[in-house]
Amino acid sequence: MSSSRLDPWVDSYAQRTNGMQASEIRALFAVASRPEVVSLAGGMPFVQALDMEMMAETVSKLLLERGAVALQYGSGQGDVFLREQILDVMAEVKVTAHPDDIIVTTGSQMALDLVTRVFCNPGDVVLVEAPSYVGALGVFRAYECDVVHVPMDDEGLNPIALAEAIARVRAEGKTVKMIYTIPSFHNPAGITQSQVRRAEILAVAKSAGILLLEDDPYGLLGFEGEPPAAIRSLDEEGVIYLGSFSKTIASGLRVGWAVAPHGVREKLVLAAESAVLCPSNYSQLTISQYLATQPWREQIKTYQELYRERRDALLESLELLMPAGTTWTKPAGGFYSWVTLPEGLDSKAMLPRAVSQLVAYVPGTGFYVNGDGHHNMRLSYCYPEPERIREGVRRLAAVIEGELGIAATFGTTVGLRKSDGHESPAPNLA
């Protein structure tokens, strides 16, 4: 070991660390958090919409009445009363279960990690949407999975493409362990699978004998009508359902859960105990106290109305200001719209100039493992006020217009991208 090396332990790391990479979103935080920058990047829930006096009273009451329990170790599976309350929350998306089917986790991100650890060996294939949630991609790569993207269309994951991907991967002699999908208000694509589409995807998974991992952090945050029924409502044995309170109550409490078949749930509990012993009793009981004493459905309606107003501000501004050739998805809920730039523009190369014009977004490349997404970007409307969103889109449109002007004058240059013949085109989901 040489002490002169930048990292003297580099040769000692496990092979799996090769798959651990900082996300492009995290790398943006330092810049996007500057007050002069309009950030359309991070997907932070607008927790300021909570009644903070009510939250203070909730926490105070918890500590005064059950402080010795809240500040102590708890069950590795999670508080039993909270698990019963989670049943009421999941009933909104038509999921039925027994409290014993649920494991409470430190955010649904931990549930993703546990499921992957329990099921996947190095080299196993996980099929994901194209594009897909960056946090899930990070987990799959950290466990040395072979991540394969499957095309989407206007209704989400394409079942025909999914069946073809399964056949192609198996023909290569590889094992497909999971299909990962975000069916409601997709991150980053902003689209929602119809009920017919959900049944079709489930049918493909069941026919192939492959586990379906359904990630549903946004399911209650739709802007019109009833929440979409989860895929898990159609099948209890072939689907693991992941939920979270991060978007519907408060992300800082870090409470999520997984619902799994009995045998799988037992393995998840063992994996969780080896990682953290138990999820935070304090966070769990804070959530539980809130659900028991506050009108949580009304709070969700408040979030829905707030995010709908901000979604409308984004879509109206895009329609008014974006140059010809730019397209975008029109989300019916959740936090995000997926933008496709005019031909030739590279969102990742363009980002420094956008930041210099005091607007930030997430380049589409962060949502792929194969280098795709250069002509896409994710715009988040959940956190900025509507007027800030409009100003951010105005700044972004000016940056794109400038890039198009450079292209017209000089041809391909920094911020513009020549095709190398190897990149498959990212889907136009608009």
Mean pLDDT per 10-residue segment, the chain (430 residues): 66 76 64 83 93 95 96 96 98 97 96 97 98 96 96 97 98 98 98 98 98 98 96 97 97 97 94 94 98 96 98 98 97 98 94 95 96 96 97 98 80 45 39
H or E element in which residue 29 lies = helix 24-32
* CA pair distance 154, 427, nearest whole angstrom: 10
| 69-293 CATH | 3.40.640.10
What span, in angstroms and rounded, lies between the C-alpha atoms of 201 and 180?
A: 11
Q: Are 369 and 147 in contact (CB under 8 A)?
A: yes
Cα–Cα distance for residue pair 43/98, rounded to 1 Å: 31
Q: Burial level of 334, CB count in 10 A (0-12/13-18/19+)?
A: buried
Indicate the CATH number of 15-42+299-429 among 3.40.50.10540, 3.90.1150.10, 2.40.110.10, 3.40.50.150: 3.90.1150.10
Q: Supply the pLDDT for residue 27.
A: 61
Backbone angles phi and psi of 195, in degrees to 5: -65, -35
φ, ψ of residue 136 in degrees (nearest 5): -70, -40
Q: What is the pLDDT of residue 329?
A: 98
For residue 7, what pLDDT is reported?
A: 77
Q: Where in the chain is the domain with CATH 3.90.1150.10?
A: 15-42+299-429
Distance CA 265, CA 115 (A): 9
Say if CB 364 and CB 376 are below 8 A apart: yes
Rounded to whole angstroms, how far apart are CA atoms 361 and 384?
Answer: 12
Please tell me the predicted confidence (pLDDT) of residue 16. Answer: 76
pTM: 0.91
User: Please, where in the chain does CATH 3.40.640.10 lie?
Assistant: 69-293
